[in-house]
Structure formats: structure tokens, C-alpha cells
Structure 1
């Protein structure tokens, strides 16, 4: 039996994301502060934000962007990120946000797969970005630098100075792609997630009533906008409520705390590792955090006791949600007013969605409980926020979304008689490190290129700080002289920082099935046994 939200459905307008966020701004709202940027010290009002977005849309069109063209966006959080992102969409383009930590090789792969024809970046990231752009066939005049001077590549300031009116574009929000984030999915190979304007508009309308963001809010924006969590829940949800975003380019605990204190931030989005620090680190007591009203955690499971410690220490509410890129991203959330819902759950199904649990062993649907808690099963979800599919990968799309429109999340969950959903395990092999997805298959393939490594397998293990890190189980070539440090260094030199192997164990043989598939469950059992001993 499927289950839905205990709350009524919400109205989802048939509009573009731009029209939803900026099409109905009043004179009073136009004067509100949209951004306060910690790096530059600048503030941007909604009136200026919209003018800059329109100018970028006009400049892009003048440079040859047409409706449906894909534009890469490789930058940390800043007001300029928002200007570029919404300028792309305003011109009828599709934005593909790129992880700011990516290597040139990673960037090239995404630009090539997405067929990007333009690319926004920053001066600090330009060396790897320009290298990737050249490899992907993007010319210098189409690499646009958000904080540049315009020496070799056009700068944002030059684009704004042209004051070219935004074009009149016509597209169907239900089918036109707004954003193309890349997800590792269930196979470990990055795939472009096709999200339409309707997907993003729907998800904003679905989560807005439960977030409880007010126009007076100062929302700390340190979770990256290039991640769909940061893009929808932080950036666009805040703009939707005409509140103020306080942007930080990267996370540093002391600077994070200083920013909250000095900017009097009231609403903060975090990931579980930050929650651990907020609960346990003594430096937290050195700062006045009395302005904090709400902390919302996502990207990985949060412990209930940890959440309650934070609530007591800071005098705020701690919420949790669940989602994935393929759902734009949210499907479940603890409503702000529901203190009775356990914080280790992901809360309730959001409006306009339908879910069910499927026994992974039998394929049978698990009954919704009349009382108590259901049996665990794979969580399936459908609704207006479900992606249009994977880019150029019909097979993967068919494996993920069934004929009835249900997206198979790959996560094992339970639901209780009140509709509270708890994620208890996940079927996926992905390692989640600081909110990023790390595919073991990618690291295994890299390890096997080492001349002294015969075989390898990678799993996620706890580092004792509430974080999952990649651990490599390595089989040496006969006679090889190889130590843990050498393996770690080999990988670190070839991957983005969040993909680094953090632990290594040498073994005689990698356990595999008769079909040759790595038996990660055996490695996890071995790891658990070693921790007990």
C-alpha cells in the first residue's frame, strides 16, 4: 500500500523558475537585501540581483547562446554564482553546475558529456577550468570569469556593462531542462540528471510550507550551490521567501561560527559532520550563536541524540530531510513545527508525492502499518519533482524510474503509522563523504592502474567523527614493496580531494561472487569484526 503526505497537496504554478522567483517581486521586496557576501563584504539588493540576471541573459544571447544550450558553472558560493545561474536559465539555457573541487579531468568529462558550449568560472579556478574547456572544445571567448578583468576571457563586469536586454524566450516549463547536475547514481558512473523548470518549481513549492523561512531570515549559505541540496534548499528556497543569503565560499569551523555570530544568521543548513562539531567542539562556546533559530541537516543520516544536544546547546530547532539529485532533491522533511518527530528520521513525505516500500528480497510491496513501524523496504517515490531521466542513458533511466513513475531510491527505509519515514540502510554502494558521493568503482579502477597492485576493493568506513571515508583493500603484486602511505599518495595525486582514499588494508584476496562481483558485504563484515576485537 502506497502512502502520501499527511498534509494536503500544494498548488504548483505552470511557470519557469525565473518567473516563480522574480516575476512577482513587489517594490518593497525589490529593496530587500538578497545577498551579504563574506569574502567581498558586498551586499546585493533584489532589484540589483534581477537587473544583473537579466543583463547576463542578454549578454549570453548576444554571444550566441540559444534556447536549450548547456552552460557549465564552476564556482564556489557567491552572489555572482546566483547571477550566472539564473542568467543562464533566463536566456533559455540549461545550467550544469560543476563541483568546485573537481580536477581538470573531472571537469572535462562533465563538459563533454553535457555538450556544454559556455562555461562560467572564477579567477582562482581558472587554471583547471580553462584546461578543461580547451579539452572540451570551448573557446576562450566562451569561458566567462565571474571575478575576472576581461584580459583573455570575458568577465561578468563586461557582460553587465553591455546592458543588453534579456531575450524573450518561449519554452514549456514541464519539459524544458533548467539544470543538469551530475549524480553518481547506483552504478558509480556520473550521469547527467535532467531536471526541468517544473521539477525545480514543484520542489520549492513542496518544501516551502515546512521550512518556515521568513523574509526577515538571514540564511547562512555555506553548503555549495553546485550541489542540488544547496541549489534548491539553500539558494532558491531563500530567494523564494525574499530572505537574505549570507554566502561563504567554503567551510571552516571558526569562520563559520564567526559568520553566524557577526551576521546574526538565523537559519543554517548543515551536513552531519558540522552537526558533530556543533554538538561537541568546545570552540562553539567562544561565539554568540543566540541568533540561530533553525539548523537543517541533510546529505547523510543524523543521529537523534546528536540533534537534541545541539538543540539544547544552542536553543534552536534541528530538522532533517531526505532526497537525491533525481528528486530535485527533496522528498521527505521534518516540518518546523513538529517537535514530536524523532530527529534521526527524515520526517514526513512532502506534499504532492506518493511513496511505497518494496521488499528487496521478494519484490512485494510492504504494508503500511496500522500501528507501530513497518518492515524495512526499498523506498520508491513519485511526484512532480522526479527527474525527466538521465542524459543520454535510457537504460539507466529505465532501471531507476519504473513504468508507473516511481523512482527507486536504492535506500532502505521504514514508515510508522503516523507517516514518519526513517532511512535505516542503503542498497547503494556509494560512499558519502561530507555530502559528496564517492563511487568505489572509480577508485578501484584507478588503484588497478598501479603497477604494484594486483587487485583492489573500496568501501566506506567510519572515521570516528561521524563521517564515512573511503577505505581500500589492496592485494599487492607478488614481491611488491608497497605501504599504506604510498597507496594513499598515489590516489591523492589523481583525484579530487573528496575522493581520496583515507585508509588502506593489505589483504591476500578480494572476496568476489562466482560472477566476479566484489562482495563488499564480506569486507564490511570483516571491518566490523576488526572494530569489535
Structure 2
């Protein structure tokens, strides 16, 4: 039985609170906020791709409703296998938005480690970028993963686009639901074996608030994230940028928008490296 999600995003009378803080997950309420401030939202960019923040937030909500219809329950673990890119954040935020726990897998981990992380956390779903589908299918064969959801069409997978189909009964996602049994799972190899760590919603929100106070982001900022740094901090920083209306550039090969420069970097620790504005 999936998570009960109330009225869809296009319906009147939802009476969502108008606030500046995430509700329930890092993107809970983001779509509503951006709808109220048309033209002031930012974007998230990867190598050769760009998505405006409102479209990104709306996709998270629609995909979360789709995962719920497919039976995802509060606290279920879903693996996300993709490089640092819009797809990695889309998969991670979608899982948390429906009350699940996202397990972002590093593409640079050995397959045995990736498989151990999926098995240790009892993940049954795996979201994957198109270029890593063969790896994901192999991991599914070696773990308890029952379904691979891919960004794109690939044999043996379910397309992420299928999650975005309208619900037969008209129900959708509402961030006013208190989905607090979510978070991000990290993993690392130790001398005693694989160690997994849950960063729950409370931890992610504490990072979100601390980064907001420390960095004072504005809509003129360009935030750069890559494979370096801690996953939970990276997710909190990107969410903060989206809430602020800043531009996110994700991945080593993703350039800043033309005429602008990176002003905030995520690693080794989030820091401001330049004032907002055009290149000198």
C-alpha cells in the first residue's frame, strides 16, 4: 500500500502554508513557492542540460506521487545511481518527497561495494541515469532490487517518465503532508565491513539552515557541486540554492551560465568564493 498523498498540484483549495522553509522534505513546498514568485526562480544545470527550478520542483512532486502509486512506503530505501547531475538530485529528492530514504551510490564505487550497500539497506528500487543502466541491471541481479527506473528508455528498465503519468483517480502529491520518515543514506568501507549512516530529515534541515545563515545566498549566485564533498551537505546546499532562486551547476564538465561565474562551491566545505555578478 502506497503512501496516502492528498490533492494534486493543480487543484484549488489546497491551503498550503506560504513559507520559506521546506515542509517534510528538502523540496516540500518548493513548487508552491516558485509558483508564487514567477520569473524569480533559478535553474539546475548539468553537462548539456538545463532545467528551470519550477519545472524541476514540479517533476519531483509528480514523480513522488508516481512512486507512491507503485507501492513505496514510508522509510523504504531506493538506490540512486548517477553522477552528480540534475538526474541524481531529481532521484534523491523524489524519494525523500514521498517519505523514502535515498541511497545515492557513487559511480566510482566498486560494484561489490555498491551491491553490498543495496543489500545491507534492503533496497528494492534503483533509479539510474541512462549511461549507467548496464551497471544497474547487473546490481539488480546481484541484490534484492526488483525494479530499475531509468532516465530514458532502456530494455529491462522502467522509464522515469512513467512516474509522471497522471493518476487514474486524480490524486497527487501535497507537501503539507508530514513525511518526516525520510533522509539520505551514506555508506563507506571500514575495516569491519560496510558502514551505512542515515542522515534524517532533521539533520538535513539543520544543514539547510546552517548553510543559509553562513552563505547568505541570493538569486544572483551560481552554486557549483561535483563528486567531492559529503552527500548530505551537497543535497542540502542544492536545495537551498533552488529555494533561493540561485543557479546550480552540477558536475565537473558543467560550465557556469554565459557571462556569470561560480560564486559558491560545495567542497571541501561549502564556501563563498566570489561575490555575485558578471566575470571581471
TM-score (norm 1): 0.42
Whether contact under 8 Å (1:183, 1:190) holds in the other structure is yes
Structure 2 counterpart of 1:528: none
Equivalent residue in structure 2 for 1:269, among 254, 265, 268: 265
CA deviations 1:352-384 (Å, max 9, x no partner) are xxxxxxxxxxxxxxxxxxxxxxxxxxxxxxxxx
Structure 2 counterpart of 1:240: 243
Note the 1:65-144 alignment, pairs <5 A.
65-139=72-146, 142-144=147-149
Shift of residue 201, structure 1, vs aligned partner = 1.0
Classify 1:184/1:207 alpha carbon distance in 2 versus 1 (closer, same or farther; 3 Å): farther
- Measure, in 2, the Cα distance between the counterparts of 1:47 and 1:271: 26
- Measure, in 1, the Cα distance between the counterparts of 2:40 and 2:227: 26
Is the counterpart of residue 166 in structure 1 residue 162 in structure 2?
Answer: no
Whether contact under 8 Å (2:89, 2:235) holds in the other structure is no
Shift of residue 110, structure 1, vs aligned partner = 0.4
Q: Which has the larger radius of gyration?
A: 1
Whether contact under 8 Å (1:97, 1:226) holds in the other structure is no
Classify 1:62/1:30 alpha carbon distance in 2 versus 1 (closer, same or farther; 3 Å): farther
Shift of residue 271, structure 1, vs aligned partner = 4.4
Is the counterpart of residue 212 in structure 1 residue 221 in structure 2?
Answer: no
Structure 2 counterpart of 1:25: 34
RMSD over aligned Cα, in angstroms?
A: 3.0
Which stretches of structure 1, 4 residues or longer, exceed 6 Å deviation after superposition? Answer: none
Classify 1:29/1:94 alpha carbon distance in 2 versus 1 (closer, same or farther; 3 Å): farther
For the residue of structure 2 that corresponds to 1:19, the secondary structure is coil
Shift of residue 30, structure 1, vs aligned partner = 6.3
For the residue of structure 2 that corresponds to 1:111, the secondary structure is helix
Structure 2 counterpart of 1:145: 150
Is the counterpart of residue 54 in structure 1 residue 56 in structure 2?
Answer: no
- Measure, in 1, the Cα distance between the counterparts of 2:257 and 2:29: 32
- Measure, in 2, the Cα distance between the counterparts of 1:238 and 1:119: 26
Shift of residue 189, structure 1, vs aligned partner = 3.2
Shift of residue 90, structure 1, vs aligned partner = 1.5
Equivalent residue in structure 1 for 2:182, among 177, 189, 212: 177
Classify 1:263/1:99 alpha carbon distance in 2 versus 1 (closer, same or farther; 3 Å): farther
Give structure 1 stretches of 5+ with no counterpart.
1-11, 273-292, 296-315, 318-533
Structure 2 counterpart of 1:228: 232
For the residue of structure 2 that corresponds to 1:53, the secondary structure is helix
Once the two structures are overlaid, the 10-residue window that deviates more, 105-114 or 207-216, is 207-216
Classify 1:208/1:126 alpha carbon distance in 2 versus 1 (closer, same or farther; 3 Å): same
CA deviations 1:93-127 (Å, max 9, x no partner) are 11011111123211110000011111011222222
Whether contact under 8 Å (1:94, 1:179) holds in the other structure is yes
Give structure 2 stretches of 5+ with no counterpart.
1-20, 276-280
- Measure, in 2, the Cα distance between the counterparts of 1:183 and 1:79: 24
Whether contact under 8 Å (2:118, 2:144) holds in the other structure is no
Equivalent residue in structure 2 for 1:194, among 195, 198, 212: 198
Shift of residue 193, structure 1, vs aligned partner = 1.1
Shift of residue 267, structure 1, vs aligned partner = 1.8
Note the 1:353-392 alignment, pairs <5 A.
none
CA deviations 1:114-164 (Å, max 9, x no partner) are 11111011222222221111211222xx20112x2143211122322x133
CA deviations 1:17-53 (Å, max 9, x no partner) are 333645533532565232133x22x322222112211
TM-score (norm 2): 0.77
Aligned residues: 250
For the residue of structure 1 that corresponds to 2:196, the secondary structure is strand
